[in-house]
Amino acid sequence: MARTNATPARVKPAESRLLTLHVVRREQISPTFARVTLGGGDIDQFRPMGFDQWFRLFLPVSETSLSRLPGRLDALSYLRYLTIAKTERPVLRNYTVRAHRAEGISGAEIDVDFVLHRSAVDGSSGPAASWADGCARGDAVALLDEGITFTPAPEVADRVEVVADETALPAVAGILASLPPTVTGRAFIEIPHADDRQDLAGPVGVEIVWVVRDEPAAIPGQAVLKAATTADGPVAPTYFWVAGEQSMCAALRRHWITAGVAKSAISFTGYWKHTAH
């Protein structure tokens, strides 16, 4: 995770240890998203928490690189991880559980959606997107569960305002699917392509607003920022949650605070930072 105010309120898993899982299948679900289903290995030790449950994902760079990882990831073990030679050090990225099934085709399994920002063919993709482009059934990964950041206080839990760019779409999907059916509110989601819309399960009282980024060169997050800041404000106590590109999250948090929203009712997490190319 990058810039966030959600750390103090985060609900951590009862136990978090390194789990080794394997690719069950991989599918291209839309122009921008690839879905990788993981299972086998230690999957029975994974405890689903719903909402925006996230984990640290370790991708191997060699046949033996995952065996070098510590069983847990505290400050000391992370420093040890950094001392591993780059040719052997697994790639580390943060991802969200898109869905968990206790009984999949071959047992318990989880779906992880990867945003394919650029072309893996010309080498411009990041390492995680490149891995998701080329992974095959049986490939091993490791993950470390980190819990959830969507933790509204009781006084604001009945209404939500959720804002995300495409990198936080899996988290929004998990949040909506985990909300009680009586919750109302809105979810603004920016996507690069109209065909990236997904069928999202959630309370009927939560309106889903898809914001398609019309300009391919536009900075991600700016279109949904405009949509969220120009919409009518909530009329009841609301829990505000935003995740995605850092500048979008920071600007929206400032907007909410200026509008009179208590800082304690806002959760923001900058998943990534846009840089000019």
> Residue 188: inside a domain, yes or no?
yes
Of the three residues 103, 126, 147, the one that is the final residue of a domain is 147
- The residue that leads in pLDDT, 118 or 48, is 48
CATH code: domain of residue 167: 3.40.50.80
Say how many domains are in the chain.
2
Spell out the SS3 assignment of the chain: CCCECCCCCCECCCCCCCEEEEEEEEEECCCCEEEEEEECCCHHHCCCCCCCCEEEEEECCCCCHHHHCCCCCCHHHHHHHHHCCCCCCCEEEEEECCEEEEEECCEEEEEEEEECCCCCCCCCCCHHHHHHHHCCCCCEEEEEEEEECCCCCHHHCCEEEEEECHHHHHHHHHHHHHCCCCCEEEEEEEECCHHHCCCCCCCCCEEEEEEECCCCCCCCCHHHHHHHHHCCCCCCCCEEEEEEEHHHHHHHHHHHHHCCCCHHHEEEEEEECCCCC
Are 217 and 237 contained in the same domain? yes
Among candidate residues 116, 147, 178, the one where a domain is terminated: 147
Count of CA atoms in the C-beta half-sphere (13 A) of 4: 19
Are both 73 and 167 inside the same structural domain?
no
Report the chain's mean pLDDT, rounded to a whole number: 92
The predicted-structure confidence for 32-61, as pLDDT tens digits, reads as follows 999 999 999 999 999 999 999 999 999 999
Q: What is the mean pLDDT of residues 69-81?
A: 83
Query: Which is higher by pLDDT, 119 or 58?
Result: 58
In sign, the C-alpha dihedral spanning 67, 271, 185, 31 is negative
Indicate whether 10 belongs to any domain: no
Query: In terms of residue numbers, what domain contains 259?
Result: 154-272
**Same domain for 41 and 99?**
yes
Asked if the structure places residue 8 within a domain, the reply is: no
Are 181 and 76 members of one domain? no
Which pTM was predicted? 0.92
The amino acid at residue 47 is: R
C-alpha to C-alpha distance for 202 and 199, rounded to whole angstroms: 10
Residues 49 and 109 reside in one and the same domain: yes
pLDDT reading at 256 higher than 90 = yes
Model confidence at 260: pLDDT above 80? yes
Quick: pLDDT tens for 169-202.
999 999 999 999 999 999 999 999 999 999 999 9
The verdict on residue 4 lying in a domain is no
Which of 91, 125, 147 is at the close of a domain?
A: 147
